[in-house]
Amino acid sequence: MKFSGASLFAAVSGASLFAAVSSSNTFADASLIRKGGQPDGLKALFFDVQGTLVDFYSTITREGEAFSAVRGFQADWTTVTEQWRAEYRSRLDQVIKGERPWTTTDRIYREALDGILANHPWGASLNSADRDELNSLWSKLIPWDDTAPGLARLRSKYITSTLSNGSMASVLRISKLGALPFDAILTAELVRSSKPDPKVYQLALDSVGIEAHQAMMVACHKYDLQAAKRLGFKVAFIARPFEFGPNKKVDTKPEQYFDYYANSVVELAGMLGA
């Protein structure tokens, strides 16, 4: 089944990526649930990566502090990380809206880094190699503690795959470094687009050979789940209240369209009978 969802893409493309939920409740459509909590006909789970499976905030702040210590300067890496991610998101939104040509997220992160370093006195001291080294941190993000064990359980019962806006290179490295047990690595780069473009979700279905009602999108970002849900996917929200650090307030309101709401990948595995 093919989707021509241009109107859907326009409707959700402006939504913020920065959303997380912190709750222990489970929201599920009873018509989709078999005895034991397993959804009828589910064959594959597709996972967002940054934020959902890996802790980018802690990784970038910790590694950034080590980077500046070696080079003998002080920097507020909490602020740098927040600015870097926000600038990345702003530039990615320009691509999504068609305001600039498609480019890889690795390139967007590097452009964003150059942009924010202009506002820091130590930024001018970093040469191109230094900046490349910093940018490579987005390919070395550390998984949340529950990610690998939860994925292992889910893979024993279902097909598991990434479906990320990250580049293929970065998601492959993250998965390898974190020993994340996936059956497949898929990213929006393969269709030269970004979520929430419907063709990214169609990529997932075509790659595995299933229909939307047999698929589940798993993410900590509402815009991602909303787009997948409208295309017929089941959706599961993983609450990551510290995605943007301990002091950043995030959206914690549950939504009725969630089929599942879990506090970890391990908890989701239990809900799905794995």
Binding-site residue ranges for Ca(2+) = 182
Question: Both ends of the chain: CA-CA distance in Å?
Answer: 28
SS3 55: strand
Residue with tokens 């473009």: 197
Report the side by side order of strands in the sheet with 159-162. Answer: 159-162, 44-47, 215-219, 234-238, 260-262
Residue 59 near residue 85 (C-beta atoms within 8 A): no
Instruction: Look up residue 121 and give its amino acid.
Output: P
**Segment holding 149, helix H or strand E:** helix 147-155
Cβ-based neighbours of 31, under 8 Å, separated by 6 or more: none
**Segment holding 188, helix H or strand E:** none
Binding site residues, as ranges? 182
- The helix-helix angle for 105-117 and 168-177 (nearest 10°) equals 90
Cβ-based neighbours of 95, under 8 Å, separated by 6 or more: 101, 102, 103, 108, 194
Burial 86-122, CB ≥16 within 10 A → b, else e: ebbeebbbebbeeeeeeebbbebbbebbebbbeebee
